[in-house]
Amino acid sequence: MTYAEALKYLESFVDYEKIPSYKYRDAVKLSRMEALLDGLGNPQRNFKSIHIAGTKGKGTTCAFVYSILKESGRKVGLYTSPHLIDFKERIRISFPKERSIEEAEVATLVARIKSFLDRFTKASKFGSPSFFEVYTALALLFFSIKKVEIAVLEVGMGGRLDATNVVNPLVAGITPISFDHTDKLGMTLEAISKEKCGIIKNNCVVVASEQNAAVMNCIRKAAVDKNARLYEVGKDIFYEPLTANPESQTFNVRGIFGDYTLLTTPLLGRHQVVNAACAIGIIEALRSKDILICSHDITSGIRSVDWPGRLQVAGRCPWIILDGAQNEASSRALKEAISKIFSYKDLILVFGVSCDKDIEGIGGNLFPFADKIFFTRSDTKRAAAPEALKKRFPDYGKKITLTFNVKEAVELARRQAKPDDLILVTGSLFVVGEALHFLNRNGIGHEKTVKD
């Protein structure tokens, strides 16, 4: 089987990431994922795992944890979603060198399981698996074959019913929870929190970021119900932002077992300090499982983390900043970080968003902040039409220009920007991924990744 054939086969499974609306509890069945993995020999049982859920920062926290474990010399796997440019980005291993899964490996894995998947799809009482379920199974199988010691897994959506929720993790992480996917996870923070706390297993260790009081109460209750030891950022783990510039930021963390001073990371924004503190707490919590990581590896892992598309500096003169902020809370954090870290004359906003997001909440933070706005759309069915966005925000009419696609929007923004301006591309990881692909192909900007 060639890679092209494998890709075509994988794309034959329904991809709910690209569908605007569907009945979540009808489409997503953890029992189907469990049956699928059972047929593959339960590869998830062949390695230890760390499992991280949340609304904001869960992917970044996974990247921090993975980077620290990689620096410690352990064989580590990382599974995240969505991707920016190529879906192979979702599966990474740290050895013998750090890399994503390769095309030949994808083709080999798909060829290995295709016959079983075909039989499973036809015979299963649970219905056909989704793209995310199949690709999650591929990741777990890949990690098993490669004999990773620990896999760091990011929840796709929610937690309780997510395809990744088939592991019994050493440590579960809960990053900040806010409103997102309310049509699927619930209309209140309590309902959303209960779904995300579904990753907490009996007798595991839980590390939680700072949260809304109602959210933290849900996390505490879930930990008690599962007899899980809970560590909280702001109660057991503390952080102190120090300095920040467009290259990096420094901060201190007082952890569960030690102090880490003058930490440096290329990821920008106060929210990244929170994510780093949570990640350090997760690393320290591994002590209860007899896994010790030294402070040098923690420091090095924080400094060398690689996580594109989150406050990434993609160009200078003018600044080109890419960030995947896609809900009200993350757009507020983005606005705060841009205001504190960058100096510029005019802010030119390239904005595209999925139609199922809190468009008013995101726009309320970013549009008053912008001097010019280019509405655009990614190449996905979930994308809100630029014309519809303009109708929803008539007060910004003079600032707004409509574009057909991300490439056009970025080109126009660059053409109109002066050297001392700042172009901010945001609203969706789909939009950021397409912008990054366009910039890379055209040799625009060669800055080191700086991230959410």
Domains and CATH numbers, the chain: 3-304 (3.40.1190.10), 312-441 (3.90.190.20)
Mean pLDDT of the chain: 95
**Would you say residue 349 has pLDDT above 90?**
yes
**Would you say residue 256 has pLDDT above 50?**
yes
* 382-413: pLDDT as tens digits: 999 999 999 999 999 889 999 999 999 999 99
What pLDDT sits at residue 63?
Answer: 98
**Would you say residue 447 has pLDDT above 50?**
no
For the chain, give the secondary structure using H, E and C: CCHHHHHHHHCCCCCHHHCCCCCHHHHCCHHHHHHHHHHCCCHHHHCEEEEEECCCCHHHHHHHHHHHHHHCCCCEEEECCCCCCCHHHHEEECCCCCEECCHHHHHHHHHHHHHHHHHHHHHCCCCCCCHHHHHHHHHHHHHHHCCCCEEEEECCCCCCCCCCCCCCCCEEEECCCCCCCHHHHCCCHHHHHHHHHHHCCCCCEEEECCCCHHHHHHHHHHHHHCCCEEEEECCCEEEEEEEECCCCEEEEEECCCCEEEEEEECCCCHHHHHHHHHHHHHHHHHHHHCCCCCHHHHHHHHHHCCCCCCCEEEECCCEEEECCCCCHHHHHHHHHHHHHHCCCCCEEEEECCECCCCHHHHHHHHCCCCCEEEECCCCCCCECCHHHHHHHCHHHHHHEEECCCHHHHHHHHHHHCCCCCEEEEECCHHHHHHHHHHHHHCCCCCCCCCCC
Average of per-residue pLDDT across 421-448? 88
What pLDDT sits at residue 237?
Answer: 98
Average of per-residue pLDDT across 179-200? 93
**Would you say residue 451 has pLDDT above 60?**
no
Average of per-residue pLDDT across 7-33? 88
Average of per-residue pLDDT across 89-101? 97
Q: Can you tell me which residue has the tokens 């352990």?
A: 74
Average of per-residue pLDDT across 275-288? 98
Amino acid type, 23:
K
What pLDDT sits at residue 126?
Answer: 79
What pLDDT sits at residue 445?
Answer: 61
What pLDDT sits at residue 91?
Answer: 98
**Would you say residue 446 has pLDDT above 70?**
no
* 303-340: pLDDT as tens digits: 999 999 999 999 999 999 999 998 999 999 999 999 99
Average of per-residue pLDDT across 193-201? 97
**Would you say residue 124 has pLDDT above 80?**
no
